[in-house]
Amino acid sequence: MTEPNSENPAEYDSSEDQALEELLIFIRDSRGFDFTGYKRSSLARRIRKRMHEVGVTGYLDYRDRLESDAEEFRYLFNTILINVTSFFRDIEAWQHLQSEVVQNLTAPDASNEIRIWSAGCSSGEEAYSLAIVFAEELGIDECVRRVKIYGTDVDEEALQDARSGLYSARALEPLPEELRNRYFEPNGDKFLFRSDLRRRVIFGRHDITRDAPISRLDLLICRNALMYFNVEAQSQILDRFHFALREGGYLFLGKAEMLLSAGSRFEVTNMRQRMFRRRIGDSVTPHPVSVPRLDVQLGPEVQDVVKRRQLSKLALEAAPFAMLGIDTEGKVTVVNSQMRSAFGLNQHDVGRPLSDLEISYRPTELRSLIDRALAEHRTIRVGGVERRAGPGDTQFFDVSVQPLWAADSSPAGMMVNFIDTTVAIRLALEVKVKREQLETAYEELQSTNEELETTNEELQSSIEELETTNEELQSTNEELETTNEELQSGNEELETMNEEMRIRTGELDETRTFLEGVLSSIGAGIVVLDGDLCVRSWSRGAEELWGLRAEEVSQQPFFSLDFGLPTDGLMEVLQASLDSGRRAGPVDVPAINRIGRSIVCAVTCSPLTGTRDGMVMLMEDVSATTVKDKME
């Protein structure tokens, strides 16, 4: 291709547009994605976005990249196909759908299957939203029995996400908590749509611009998808939608879409919410055929000629297809009954130039076909000619243009036949739709098989994990049993030790009681000191002698106590006892008892036997004995 002239913007734009068209044709032929019906402005912008991401400046260079890198197609399709959707998007429109449309489709007298098509379903949110709406209206069991939902898209990756039925918590935010708990169950860090309803939603790849539509629909949802196509593609898509819907079926579009050119086929039920309904068409009644009577007053030869002509005319009138005869001057000479019924011609049109009649250019251009048949000396056939007979009524014809020649090989005229193939084409479309349904069912079966296989593998893995867990539990149980036995043995030992300690404690209590009784029965004061000369024991006799209770002097240094006995004079006898390890004393020490009377206290020190350090001091009031001795 010649490089565009930068000084001529028109030439540059033309070259760019041509390069874009060639790129779209390459994508269609190589991958089956037909983007030629998309609006060029948005399409070019999306492709340019991907080209900028990979660092390519021209369409031709990007085509080379697509040829060399097959993976690039996936990134390009993800960029072009804008998968923007959510559960119950535009909630007001869904509320109208539930309150008006769904209630009409689920009326008590309506018991047939409800067929719904979500075209351009992306990752499936709208298809599952439909399942929730009908389940809320009918009940889950009745919805599973009656409702079938088809979800289609051209993006296979988005369809895989839709088939899984797994959505993140963020994707479920538009749903009330009650609906989320009823229709979704936790699955790891995501939520899974309930399986019984998910089986009634069938997903499959479908191109609404090329593939045959799903038929006999009660409701068709295609929201914010038509706005990406040009006018011609939108018209073709609406033709398919019109064929897909039953009479009275509903069409639900996005808030940015209108049906400006299809008002004769769809009526508006709510313009604000973009809800439309297919009109109920009128049937076409063919005109009656009149048969001329023979003139019985003519002669036999003339009657034979007239009979032959009348027979030819009757045969022409009774022909099962529409026929139009044209002479060499281009004037209409023959119009049979089927022609009059199908195209509205009458006997007044006989003799008129063909160019003056609408049939010359609609439903197809006859004049060019006639010229071609005369020039090529053969019959020209054109198949699948479409004709709009009325609101909601489309007919299809095979048109044949046959030149007629006289005996001398000169042109005698032209015969044009219109063979109605509407039934055959509709049957072919039905067959194609059935085939699509069969393929969709096969895909569903394949998907179910894959899910079953995955479930089987998960169950097998779970069984292995359970067996491993069981073995671990068995081992743990054995360890616990061993530990239990060890604890039981230790408990028995503790009980034995406890019994021994109880006996020892009883003996100690008995000994202590005995010693306390002995010490209490001794009138003299007895003080026991430890190795640091702190008081360990202070007998009742010491309490009565000095007036100090045992708890007041316990653990107190003996030589720092302030009571009636001068302790300084006792250090010598105490040290003598410690050095010799024998009893020392008694030593008479003047003292003052607890009542303030002067006494003579005899102090005897003895080492505490059985311990490393300690001392026992015996303190006895000997004042009366001293006085008696003096008197004697």
Q: Output the CA torsion 251→257→262→266 (10° steps).
A: 30
Decide which of 212, 244, 278 is a domain's last residue: 278
Is the same domain home to 242 and 137?
Answer: yes
Whether 21 and 124 map to the same domain: the answer is no
Which CATH number does the domain housing residue 614 bear? 3.30.450.20
Same domain, residue pair 167 and 237: yes
Q: Among 431, 432, 372, 426, which Cα is nearest to 401's?
A: 372
Q: Tell me whether residue 489 is in a domain.
A: no
Going from the C-alpha of 286 to that of each of 211, 253, 271, 272, 340, the distances in angstroms are: 33, 37, 37, 40, 8
Question: Where is the domain boundary, 387, 420, 453?
Answer: 420
Instruction: Output the six-digit token pair for 597.
Output: 């009377």
Using one digit for the tens of pLDDT, what is the confidence trace for 346-403? Answer: 777 888 888 888 888 888 888 888 888 888 888 889 888 888 766 667 888 899 998 9
135 domain-assigned:
yes
Residue 181: the pLDDT is 92
Answer yes or no: are the C-beta atoms of 216 and 247 closer than 8 Å: no
Q: Looking at the structure, do residues 258 and 131 belong to the same domain, yes or no?
A: yes
Q: Is residue 562 part of a domain?
A: yes
Six token digits for residue 258: 């209108």
262, containing H or E segment: none
Q: Provide the 3-class DSSP secondary structure of residue 520.
A: helix
Name the band, by pLDDT with cuts 50, 70 and 90, for residue 148: very high
Classify residue 472: in a domain, yes or no. Answer: no
Domain identity same for 540 and 606: yes
Whichever domain contains 32, its CATH number is 1.10.155
Q: Is 224 a domain residue?
A: yes
Question: Do 103 and 64 fall within a single domain?
Answer: no
Domain contains 221: yes
The Cα angle at residue 233 between residues 252 and 400, in degrees rounded to 5: 120
Residues 304 and 171 occupy one common structural domain:
no
**What integer pLDDT is reported at residue 35 of this predicted model?**
83
Whether residues 35 and 110 share a domain: the answer is no
Are residues 62 and 121 both part of a single domain? no
Q: Is the bond preceding 586 in cis, omega lying within 30 degrees of 0? A: yes
Closest by Cα among 358, 420, 366, 361 to 394: 420
Check: CB of residue 399 under 8 Å from CB of residue 385: yes
Instruction: Find the Cα–Cα–Cα–Cα dihedral 553, 558, 564, 566, rounded to 10°.
Output: -170
Domain count, the chain: 4
Environment class of 528 (CB within 10 Å of its CB; exposed 0-12, middle 13-18, buried 19+): middle
pLDDT tens-digit map of 219-250:
999 988 888 888 888 888 888 899 999 988 99
Q: Is residue 425 part of a domain?
A: no
Q: Is residue 503 part of a domain?
A: no
Distance CA 150, CA 205 (A): 10
CA distances from 211 to 152, 182, 435 (A): 11, 36, 11
369 and 306 together in one domain: yes
What pLDDT score was predicted for residue 136? 93
Q: What CATH number is given to the structural domain containing 150?
A: 3.40.50.150
Residue finishing a domain among 420, 448, 469:
420
Range of the domain at 575: 523-631
Whole-prediction pTM value? 0.45
- Give the span between the Cα atoms of 548 and 542, in whole angstroms: 8
Q: Are residues 128 and 270 both part of a single domain?
A: yes
Judgement on whether residues 106 and 61 belong to the same structural domain of the protein: no
